[in-house]
Amino acid sequence: MASMMQPQIILLKEGTDTSQGKAQLVSNINACTAVADVVRTTLGPRGMDKLIHDANGSVTISNDGATIMKLLDIVHPAAKILVDIAKSQDSEVGDGTTTVVLLAAEFLREAKPFIEDGVHPQNLIRSYRTACNLAIDKVKSLATSIEGKSLEEKKSLLSKCAQTTLNSKLIGGEKEFFATMVVNAVIAIGTDDRLNMIGIKKVPGGNMRDSFLVDGVAFKKTFSYAGFEQQPKKFLNPKILLLNIELELKSEKENAEIRLSDPSQYQSIVDAEWNIIYEKLDKCVQSGAKVVLSRLAIGDLATQYFADRDIFCAGRVAEEDLQRVAAASGGTVQTTVNNVIDEVLGTCEVFEEKQVGNERFNIFSGCPSGRTATIVLRGGADQFIEEAERSLHDAIMIVRRALKNSTVVAGGGAIDMEISRYLRQHARSILGKSQLFINSYAKALEIIPRQLCDNAGFDATDVLNKLRQKHAHASGEGAPYGVDINTGGIADSFANFVWEPAVVKASPHYLLGPVTSFCFLRSLC
């Protein structure tokens, strides 16, 4: 009787959901597939855009998987895993975010019947990991290297990769134009991994073809004081002084308390304040610099002082732009004007201030150190330019990855179909339930070409049957065949220059991500 009167021990706060087991696992799978259905229609060249309106009233139009996933207000803990996978893919590779979300959901969808039949999740996970490793090895064996090519050949190959990425974007109609721009920008920064060395500046107005690439740095004209109009707006081979100090007359009454014994001393204090600023300005002029940039304010006195001496100045320059000018020109940002020597000054072939649309831009071109580039993006509505910027970011990441890893594979679902065929063939040599699990993995890979067809309005079943037949050839000649968006049939994606960097397909976030997702779902139960 005493044991029956024991008080109830409460470990979790009231209202906590403690459901677990098979039912909860199936619920988690359903949540993930529901999220994937949101981005499903954005895949491929014929994918549609999504208009997202948030609680603050801001509107975003995009078909970028990572952007859409970030903006979705997902509360289900299991479904949030897909958001994390998309973010990882975007930061690591830059493209393939929609693909990785679709694959993760499809792997879970294929696993669902086994879970409902009582198969332990660990058995599925082991088989999926085996299939994943086989898939990655197959991608590496099918990849074509771009090493040993001349610079022009390499540019052409990288341009094809960028065009494949831009195919599905809002600016896909001008993919050749922007792909060339992206490739030149990535090659300009060389092996520098800092992507902020490629600046993208947006200027509303004009059309996409008005966009241009600056082999150097460009940024919008900063706020300027009276006297700026008299400053020169163009220099050839100027010396550039980069500062992180204020060049402005400041009253010391805000910084110090001064006690006077004689009213005549007041004038000497005022004169000292003027001498401080004039001493700084004189040292800037003595350095020989013709362009003075500062992250902090350059006041009206300094602006007029520099104008009288044919020197251009700009204050309140964004730190990122100032660092890019330093990297390109070979200069060093100074926190004092004392002992400014030639070694800390930057230079460029041409500095000029130009009108771009309704904006004035400061442009530094022909920089000796290179390692930076700027894309000035033109277009109509703000939403259009924002989406174009996201598209260029994806293309830049893809070209950077292709240049770093130097291997490409056929796109258009070709590589997915070939891996699917390979895994099915491998499964025949396996005994037991693992054969079924690997077959389900292989079937899930077909979601990519199937969704490409669905989004383009083609008969997906017919196209997939043709692809299976083509990829089944023992000679391996069908390996590069994928969906032909132009005809609604199949075509050699490699011959049609539909290429993707091999790292997109072999990335752990791409093929191991769904397996990780499955493990997390199991631990949530």
Please name which of 116, 100, 124 lies closest in space to residue 35, comparing C-alpha atoms.
Answer: 100
73 is catalytic: no
Question: Quick check: helix, strand or coil at residue 307?
Answer: helix
Q: In degrees to the nearest 10, what's the CA dihedral of 477, 448, 484, 49?
A: -160
* Enclosing H/E stretch for 276: helix 265-286
Residue 347 exposure: Cα atoms within 13 Å on the Cβ side: 10
**Per-residue 3-state assignment (H helix, E strand, C coil) for 444-493:** HHCHHHHHHHHHHCCCHHHHHHHHHHHHCCCCCCCCCEEEECCCCEEEEC
Angle at 85 between CA 80 and CA 89, to 5 degrees: 150
137: annotated active-site residue? no
* 484 given a catalytic annotation: no
Catalytic residue from among 394, 416, 484, 492: 394
CB-based contact 252:273 (threshold 8 Å) = yes
- Which residue in the list 33, 42, 67, 97 is annotated as catalytic? 97
Respond yes or no: is residue 98 known to be catalytic. yes
The two beta strands, 239-243 and 291-294, are: parallel
Annotated active-site residue in 33, 42, 60, 98: 98
Q: Nearest to residue 301, comparing CAs of 243, 225, 245? A: 225
The alpha carbons of the chain give a radius of gyration, in whole angstroms, of 30
Distances 456 to 11, 44, 161, 412, 495 between C-alpha atoms, Å = 53, 8, 21, 12, 21
| Cα–Cα distance measured from residue 319 to residue 243, given in angstroms and rounded to the nearest whole number | 11
In terms of phi and psi (left: phi > 0; alpha: psi -120 to 50; beta: otherwise), the region of 360 is: beta
Other residues' Cβ atoms within 10 Å of the Cβ of residue 63: 22
DSSP string, 352-363: EEEEETTEEEEE
- Of 182, 187, 183, the closest CA to residue 200 belongs to 182
Q: Which residues are catalytic?
A: 64, 97-98, 394
